Amino acid sequence: MCGIVGIALKRDEAAPILVEGLKRLEYRGYDSAGVAIVGEEGVSVVKGVGTIDDLERRFGVSALSGGTGIGHTRWATHGGVTDANAHPHTDCSGRVAVVHNGVIDNFAELRRALEERGHVLRSDTDTEVIPHLVEEGLSNGLSPIQALARAVSMLEGSYAVAAVVSGRREIVVARRGSPLVLGVGEGGNMCASDVAAMLHFTNRYIPLEDGEVAEITPEGVRIWVVGPGGEMTPVEREPRKVDWTASMADKGPYDHFMLKEIYEQPSAIERTLSQAEVYSDRAIDLLLSTLDSGGRVVFAAAGTSYHASLVGKYLLARLASIQAESYVASEFEDWAIPHLREGDLVFAISQSGETADVLMATRAARKLGAKVLAMVNVPGSTLAREADEVLYMGAGPEVGVAATKTYTSQVAMLTYLTARLALRLGRGGSRAGEIADWLPEIPKIVEARLEEMDRLSKRYVDEIVSHHSVFFLGRGINLATSLEGALKLKEISYIHAEGFPGGEYKHGPLALISRDTPAVAILPREDRLRRLMVGNIMEVRARGAKVIVVKADGEEAPAEMEFPAAPEGLPEELTPIPFIVPLQLLAYRAAVALGRDPDKPRNLAKSVTVI
């Protein structure tokens, strides 16, 4: 999705800090970029289709002089991918420049009204109405912050907006429905779509809430909440500190962020388990109070987080004898809301904490009296602030669009939480205790096998990239692993990949199997499921498919290739973490072999902040 960054400095060096901030937002996905710098001669705007590096080569952005500026990476929604549609957008005079993330639902009516009043709009975007509305406010004698507050009061939809005005040192910002945080630093202050974009400058931030506007100057930040009549009431809010560092959001010696983040998983999981010890008691209390009052547990998540929720659903049933439901967040209002009632608990999972579908689901659930338990990775995110209780993963910033370390951290947190819950309830017998004992070993298990899994993925990748489709088979808890493995492959290599329950192959997918369709099978450790999966493997091999099997040591399966990803004796419930790692690496190696950029797959964004 679109990314915003802005800085107001005491010295005239805003441009290079803006460029660095924009680079840290590249993971969100974009097709064009631009900056606006306030200098002695007014507002200088440079923008265009392509990457931030392309912009630097064309315009020498970092050399622009000025202490205040805003920047933007655009992911096209309204209007095609053109230089004219890139942000920032300006008013008629060129004095006002605006960047925006979100969707303005009533932009067509606003545009017609502005044009009738003599304004000339030059793009096809919804955003361009905003600088012209600000221009009108300024013409009526309003200050920049008042003019922006007036402008956004006319908008319907979602927005995070940042604006600069010629001759002024401040940035004025507003937020409703799209993320925006303020950064508090030495020698200046910032705003950005997320904390990671500011880490090169500061690790102190203030989240901006819906319905608020703020003024950012080199000396400080001021926040107001805008009332229904347009009145502005000052808000006092202390900065928070995030324990992320700038180096955490750098590639270091790795070719891509995705590879770095795959290799970071042992330390990320270890941090998550430490975080689980801090946050799990309150989460368990909320779960217990829900169950005691007869409420149900309902997961809401999207993409990779949805696959993690399937693991959570399985573990709750298997260890704690709790029946939970799991819904794709975009379908939540149609499938879950009709059955949701007061006292139920929505367990919302989102890496960014800003996923629009998840926020819509939780807000709809709260209107019915449901509680919300959130699991997020990004501190200060909207979902974290709106939830009744929060589980912070602590995986560190994840820059690659394809989730890797945040998925295994989510699964680790869910496993820890469920094992503890089962022990509190006196359920799960010795199994819950065994899983709790094994769980601290998982980071070591992953770390010990990473190099070998990567070596094997390089050996097997030719079998993957030489075909147009790959099918993944899973059973039991590792059905989620098959779905996640397929998602990783398709989203970064663009090879068609699908995950299925092993038993479903005879109900349709087997018709697609041939010599041209390799299969990846996740071999269960449980005897009954293992026998069934071996049968599935034999069926696809009989149709000419070559099989890659992911398994634990000591397990045998008829396959041409294998990833021994876990030690013998590891409980089945813990295998989703080590079993997904070779599939992440296989997807990464396939993308690289095909010349794709695994960090920035086409058409995709890291955080989906618009519906």
Sign of CA dihedral 562, 564, 568, 573: negative
Measured CA to CA, the distance from residue 74 to residue 29 in angstroms comes to 8
Measured CA to CA, the distance from residue 247 to residue 254 in angstroms comes to 13
Reply yes or no on whether 606 is catalytic: yes
Measured CA to CA, the distance from residue 563 to residue 345 in angstroms comes to 38
DSSP designation for 94:
S
Decide: 3 and 32 in contact? Cβ < 8 Å: no
Q: Prior bond to 253 cis, omega within 30?
A: no
Which is it for strands 519-522 and 68-74: parallel, antiparallel or unpaired?
A: unpaired
Report the Cα 44 to chain-centroid distance in Å.
Answer: 32
Q: Point out the catalytic residue in the list 2, 47, 488, 490.
A: 2
Residue ranges in 24-181 assigned as alpha helix (H) = 52-59, 107-116, 129-139, 144-152
Residue with structure tokens 């950005």?
192
**Three-state SS at 396:** coil
Identify residue 176 by its one-letter amino acid code: R
Measured CA to CA, the distance from residue 438 to residue 596 in angstroms comes to 37
Q: Look up residue 570 and give its two tokens.
A: 């590891």
CA angle centred on 134, ends 132 and 140, rounded to 5°: 110
Q: How many CB atoms lie within 10 A of CB 42?
A: 16
Q: Point out the catalytic residue in the list 405, 488, 600, 606.
A: 606
**Which of 374, 388, 364 is CA-nearest to residue 305?**
374
Decide: 423 and 436 in contact? Cβ < 8 Å: yes
- Beta carbons within 8 Å of 261's beta carbon, 6+ residues apart: 268, 398, 399, 400, 404, 405
Decide: 260 and 252 in contact? Cβ < 8 Å: yes
List residues with catalytic annotation.
2, 606
